[in-house]
Each structure stands twice: as structure tokens, then as C-alpha cells.
Amino acid sequence: MADFEKCSQALQKGQAKEVVALVQEAIDEGIDAKTILEEGLMSGMSIIGVKFKNNEVFVPEVLIAARAMNMGAALLKPLLMEAGVKAKGKAILGTVKGDLHDIGKNLVRMMMEGKGIEVIDVGTDVAPEKYIAKAKEENANLICCSALLTTTMTQMENVVKGVIDEGMRDDVTIMIGGAPVTQNYCDSIGADIYSSDAATAAEVASDFFDKSA
Ligand code: B1M
């Protein structure tokens, strides 16, 4: 019998091989991919998110849990596509122009993916035009910008301005975060959502997509 609790526990410990074996076992038993994803994988990643927020686990643990999640999810992907299971929503995520820090951004991506959000990761050193072009191309209504430098966070304002100039302000929500970024800064540049950490960013993005569904 498929043991989702065991799978969730293995994921939290980053035991990728165990996760893959348990996911395969559940597939072989004929359990649908969405149930395996939600109950075996996303449940574990949610717990990691909460623990990370509470400083009960740290970056390395999150990275290995995410690796286990990705390996388990890779088995499910073709089945989910066959079943026509759609992602909850699509977000464009990148680190702003001039900024090469990507550890925090990658954590945000992992946590968002753990919530069933499709994340188009546009990398680091991302010019405002690139976020906007990608949002148009992918028909995504959430742009997420990360910055780690006080000298580059100012690029976030250019993303907001670019979205206004393109006439997309009513259709696109802009989320920002990163160590030097604050709620005050978010308000001052007219961005929509500030998140202090990756787990909160994923929760807020998930709520956003639930509300706009
Ligand atoms: Co740089 N660096 N770095 N660095 N670096 C900092 C940020 C710095 C604070 C170090 C210091 O001086 N004490 C400082 C910035 C000072 C400032 O502007 N106030 C600094 C500097 C100055 C620089 C250089 C300019 C150094 C130089 O060359 N003179 C240079 C800049 C390069 C560039 O980007 N153009 C530079 C380079 C580098 C490395 C390449 C060596 C490396 C980056 C490697 C990489 O990312 N692949 C690096 C690192 C590792 C750091 C520190 C040590 C760690 C950053 C990190 O990854 N933290 C950092 C000092 C520190 O923080 N102790 C430092 C862990 C990560 C999980 O946290 O990214 O904050 P963080 O993400 C958090 C939240 O902020 C949030 O979620 C995450 C966790 O929950 N979050 C979001 C992040 N993005 C979000 C987006 C959201 C929501 C939440 O919504 C969209």
C-alpha cells in the first residue's frame, strides 16, 4: 500500500532514492499522479517551508529536500500531462539586472513549485524588458523579482514602470523580495507584494492564483 507519510518524511530528509521508490510504488498501485504529487510530495515540501521559515531547517536541508521533490516529480510529470493536470498558475521569476545572487531566488522557485505553481525561471541579471517580454510570451500574470544588493534593488522600480508603460499594469501582479527589500520599499515603488522569505513567497503566490482562478 502506498505510504504517503513515509514519502513525505523521506522528502523532508532529502532521501531522493527513497522518494523515487515510493512514488514508483504508488504509480504501480494505480494511484493517480495528482494525489501522489499532493499527498506524497507537496505535503512534505510544505512542512519544509514552514520549518525553514521558523529557522528549524536551513538552506542545505531545503536544497536536498527540493532535489528529492524534483526527482519524484519527474516521474509524475508525463502522467500529469496525460491527465491534463494544469499548474495552479504561471510565474516569471528572476534576479534583477546587475545582480548575480541566485540562492534565494532558487529557493523561491523550489517552494513555489512545491505549491504546484509553474515557474519560468529567467535567471540572474534580468533586465526589466526581459521580465515583461517573458510575461507576455508565457501569458503569465505574476512577475517575481529578487535582489540582494542595495544597488540593484532599484531595478525593481524599473520593472513596475515597464509594466505600466506596456499597458499591462491591470493584468500583471509584481512580487518582490530579497535581503535588502522591505514592505516600505515595495509600497514606495508601487509593487504589489513583498515577501520576506521563500516559504511566504510561495504561500502568497499560491493564494494569489487561488483568488484569481
Ligand atoms: Co554577495 N553580497 N556580493 N555574493 N553575498 C551579499 C548580499 C552582502 C550582504 C555581503 C556583505 O557585504 N555582507 C553584500 C551586499 C551589500 C548590500 O548591497 N547591502 C554583497 C556584495 C557586496 C556582493 C558583491 C558586490 C561583492 C563584490 O564583488 N565586491 C558581489 C556582487 C555580484 C553581483 O551580483 N553583481 C557579490 C557576489 C557574491 C557571490 C557571487 C560570491 C555569492 C553569490 C552566489 C550565488 O548566489 N550563486 C555571494 C553571496 C553568497 C553572498 C551572501 C554571503 C549570501 C547570499 C545568500 O545566498 N544568502 C550575502 C551575505 C549574507 O546574506 N550573509 C552576500 C542565502 C539566501 C537563502 O538568502 O538570498 O536573502 P537570500 O534569500 C532569502 C530572502 O531574501 C528571500 O527568500 C530567501 C530565503 O527564504 N528572497 C525572496 C530572496 N529573493 C526573494 C524573492 C521573493 C521573495 C523572497 O519574491 C519574488
3-class SS letters over 28-87: HCCCCHHHHHHHHHHHHHHHHHHHHHCCCCCHHHHHHHHHHHHHHHHHHHHHHHHCCCCC
CA–centroid distance, 107 to ligand 1, in Å, is 13
Residue nearest to atom 43 of ligand 1 (CA): 101
Find out whether the beta carbon of 59 lies less than 6 Å from any atom of ligand 1. Answer: yes
Q: Which residue, among 199, 178, 158, 210, has the nearest Cα to 66 in the 3D structure? A: 199
Ligand 1 pocket test target in 48, 59, 101, 196 with most atoms within 8 Å of CB: 101
Q: What is the pTM of this model?
A: 0.89
In the chain, CATH 1.10.1240.10 sits at: 4-82
Is pLDDT of 38 > 90?
Answer: no
Find out whether the beta carbon of 24 lies less than 6 Å from any atom of ligand 1. Answer: no
The number of residues making up the chain comes to 213
Q: How confident is the model at residue 22 (pLDDT cuts 50, 70, 90)?
A: very high
Q: Write down the pLDDT at residue 89.
A: 95
Q: What CATH code is assigned to 90-212?
A: 3.40.50.280
Alpha-carbon gap, residue 150 to 139, rounded angstroms:
30
CA–centroid distance, 127 to ligand 1, in Å, is 18
What residues contact residue 104 under an 8 Å CB cut-off, 6+ apart?
146, 148, 177, 178, 179, 198
Q: Which residue, among 103, 3, 5, 102, has the nearest Cα to 62 in the 3D structure? A: 103
Residue nearest to atom 22 of ligand 1 (CA): 149
Decide the pairing of beta strands 173-177 and 142-146.
parallel
In the chain, CATH 3.40.50.280 sits at: 90-212
Architecture of domain 4-82: Orthogonal Bundle (1.10)
